[in-house]
Structure 1
Amino acid sequence: MKKLFLFLSLTIILFANDGVHEFASSQECQACHPKIYEEYYGSMHANATPDKDPIHKAVWDKHPHNKKLSQYSCGKCHSPAADNLDKMLTEGAKAMPDPANATHQEAISCAYCHRIQSIQKHTQSNTNIISKDKKSYYGSTRSSLDSPYHKIMTKENEHFANGNVCIGCHSHNVNKSGLNLCSTNVNDEMSKSNCVSCHMPKVEGSFSSIMETKEHSFHGFAGAHYNSDMLSKYVDISILRNIDHFIVNVDNRSSHALLLHPMRMAVLKINVLREGKTIELEKEVFVRVIGKDGKPAMPWAADTTLKDTMIQANEKREVKRDFKLQKGDKVNVVLGWFLVNPKALKSLGLENEKAAKEFHVFKKQTFTF
């Protein structure tokens, strides 16, 4: 019985990922898809490895799989095109991120995403199943296309068809304590929400140099790091004036929380311009803090949510300020975020890292009374 249990345990570990596949480099795609490659090259998908993302590196530097196991388990989603992905995810094996390894530097490559054949649902995190055909790629377009370099499959993949091809990595991530660290939709991971329509909207320009089109899906992947202005239309800001106070309404019309990663911190800044003077009012902070034993903790150690004031999916949050507005007042409202909660900068060694300290302005509006 012991041997059977051990065999089953190892089998689960070995097949928790889809194994190693050989992928065409993203640079190969550039010749026929120059605009898409340009967008992708500046995205977080192309820069997801520790040597390119200082915030990810700061977390990885503290990870027990780094310090004790020498195993880059983050590779499942941060460098899935790696030629030693199996070692990154198999218990007892050793495989660290390697800036000199070209397959590691592919990060989340073009070929990897476009060869996602299906997605397996799992409790801890989902798994992408990759097509074994190295010359066939899935796409979301509904028109009949052909390429002299590879086969284009436009009707064979439900996840490309419904726009949720991202949920292999961006659905949920549950740690060993059963805490869902980061989820697009906690209550319904496989909902009908379309990741692509929001984060990869149609923009001007041909998707290919050998077949002209008026527009293409944006491959810069709008998100918390870059191109967040593309998402601002999904959040509305309004003000309700009362006799002795006013309320700022923040209406999140998206299908997930305003920010997903527990490291983030959103801030609503409010000031009133009156007779040439600026009056700064109290900031409102939106955050989710995870921890253990009543104190904030790293994702692998946390077992509970200590605090959650993040604006949730389809929520209209009211922020009241006890301030009497007068005729002629201008109220300036700014909604934005820090990629790293300022309280965590020191513990992560990111006090001097611009990317971690920068306040990202998401939306700003002025209301005149």
Structure 2
Amino acid sequence: MLRLTFLLIAALDLFATQGFVSSNVCKKCHPIISKEYSASMHKNASIHNDPVHRAVWEKHPLKKSGKYVCASCHTPTDTKIMQALKSKKSALPEENAIQKNEPIGCAYCHRIKDIEIHAKANLNILNETPKFYYASKEGKSEKRVVKFHEESSFFGLSKKTAGSPFHTIDYGNENFSDGKMCLGCHDHKRNDKGFAICSMDIESSEKSTNNCISCHMPQVEGSYSTIAKSKTHAYHGFTGLHNRPDMLKSYITLKATAKEGKLSVTLKNGADHKLFAHPLRLAQLRIEIGRDGKTIRLEPVNFFTILGHNGKPAMPWSADSILKQNVIKAHEEKRIDMAFTPRKGDEVRVTLGYYIVNPKAAGKLGITQKDFTTFRTLVSKIFFF
């Protein structure tokens, strides 16, 4: 009995000091959010869940030296590998429960106190206070910290509880309402050569009310908790090219007209960052014309980035230049004039879609899964001439 008591005390002490809480604990009070998270890229960020990340890591030169530096963003919940990196010891992503089930866990993101801006990559600053988490209400911050307590009304005749009996909630951290808390991992990345291999190039306009949270975690139906009921909650599946891209359609505008007798297509990006920022992506604008019962398909227009070194295509870690690039910038309106003459009665379908991995790059990386090498439609619209 004494031994059991000692083990229990030791376990509680570890829980209080290590700052790690399994997402399975969160699931008990946040079942809807937990279900959304299970289909998200945060849950599938490790090499054991993401074939693309695994394929890149298999060719990365740091694999031989045992330095999985990707962990800071791809598997930060794995405290063992994070500590090994900090101690400059061998750190390789072992196939364990955290890597498989919660490489970027609920508690990790809700402990992000602030973001340090750095040239190579930003850094998440965590609050180490046990059972203390940040959140926002409907995308807005409130300068208050809520601990579990009992409230009474009608001279004490009616009583109800507020807050969570399992943790304290701070609603005053503005990083959780303006989207800054996402920028520790989702802003930019430079390789050891100092070359920016990926950058969102965020350009927030004065009129814009969008941010990472409002676009990628919009309010959807369902209570965020079983304890404190609400009509809506922030979507924790994280909308993007992998998951629920349909939620992003409203930021893309397509238009087809005749300019000087030729077909002209205008594409407008309403987002505060460039589209398809990852260098492995390939986006395409596809145009089909229905005429006299037949379909005419025009040559697709590609949007891409090809990284290079010594004038040849290169992997991200060795790249020092951009060989070719055609991207859609923040708030940009692109006009694409086609060498095609439309006729009266033509039905023109314009489709903007993408490949998770450029098929050519997929071949070099050995990625064969169809989910990543199949064209996916983002938005499609028909115009009648």
Match in the other structure for 1:82: 78
Match in the other structure for 1:159: 175
Q: C-alpha offsets along residues 134-183 of structure 1, whole Å, 9 cap, x if unaligned?
A: 2011001146651111101001x231132221001011101111211111
- Picking from 130, 133, 139, the partner of 1:134 is 130
CA separation of 1:208/1:186 partners in 2, compared to 1, >3 Å: closer, same or farther? closer
- Match for 1:172: what amino acid? H
Q: Structure 2 CA distance, aligned partners of 1:26 and 1:86?
A: 18
TM-score of the two chains, using structure 1 as the length reference:
0.89
Q: Structure 1 CA distance, aligned partners of 2:60 and 2:209?
A: 34
Match in the other structure for 2:116: 120
Instruction: Name the SS of the counterpart of 2:350 in structure 1.
Output: strand
Output aligned runs, 1:69-108, within 5 Å.
69-87=65-83, 89-90=85-86, 92-102=88-98, 105-108=101-104
Instruction: Name the SS of the counterpart of 1:86 in structure 2.
Output: helix
Match in the other structure for 2:51: 54
What is the CA RMSD across the aligned residues, in angstroms? 1.9
Q: Structure 2 CA distance, aligned partners of 1:148 and 1:167?
A: 30
- Match for 1:253: what amino acid? G
Instruction: Name the SS of the counterpart of 2:225 in structure 1.
Output: coil
Q: Which runs of 4+ in 1 moved over 6 A?
A: none
1:354 matched to 2:351: no
Contact 1:47 1:53 in 2 (8 A): yes
- Match for 1:344: what amino acid? A
Contact 1:340 1:356 in 2 (8 A): yes
Q: Displacement of 1:22 after TM fit?
A: 3.2
Instruction: Name the SS of the counterpart of 1:169 in structure 2.
Output: coil
1:366 matched to 2:378: no
Instruction: Name the SS of the counterpart of 1:165 in structure 2.
Output: helix
Q: Displacement of 1:92 after TM fit?
A: 4.3
Q: Structure 2 CA distance, aligned partners of 1:91 and 1:309?
A: 41
Match in the other structure for 1:214: 231
More strand per residue: 2
Q: Displacement of 1:195 after TM fit?
A: 0.6
- Picking from 340, 352, 368, the partner of 1:335 is 352
CA separation of 1:200/1:186 partners in 2, compared to 1, >3 Å: closer, same or farther? closer
CA separation of 1:91/1:292 partners in 2, compared to 1, >3 Å: closer, same or farther? farther
Q: Structure 2 CA distance, aligned partners of 1:329 and 1:285?
A: 24
Contact 1:87 1:94 in 2 (8 A): no
Output aligned runs, 1:117-266, within 5 Å.
117-141=113-137, 142=141, 146-155=163-172, 157-185=173-201, 194-266=211-283
Q: Structure 2 CA distance, aligned partners of 1:358 and 1:53?
A: 16
CA separation of 1:171/1:272 partners in 2, compared to 1, >3 Å: closer, same or farther? same
> What is the aligned residue count?
345
Q: Displacement of 1:192 after TM fit?
A: 8.8
1:288 matched to 2:305: yes
Q: Displacement of 1:105 after TM fit?
A: 3.9
Match in the other structure for 2:20: 23
Q: Structure 1 CA distance, aligned partners of 2:126 and 2:369?
A: 36
Q: Structure 1 CA distance, aligned partners of 2:43 and 2:188?
A: 21
Q: Displacement of 1:101 after TM fit?
A: 4.5
TM-score of the two chains, using structure 2 as the length reference:
0.85
- Picking from 22, 35, 42, the partner of 1:45 is 42
Q: Structure 1 CA distance, aligned partners of 2:291 and 2:306?
A: 36
Contact 1:200 1:217 in 2 (8 A): yes
CA separation of 1:88/1:313 partners in 2, compared to 1, >3 Å: closer, same or farther? farther
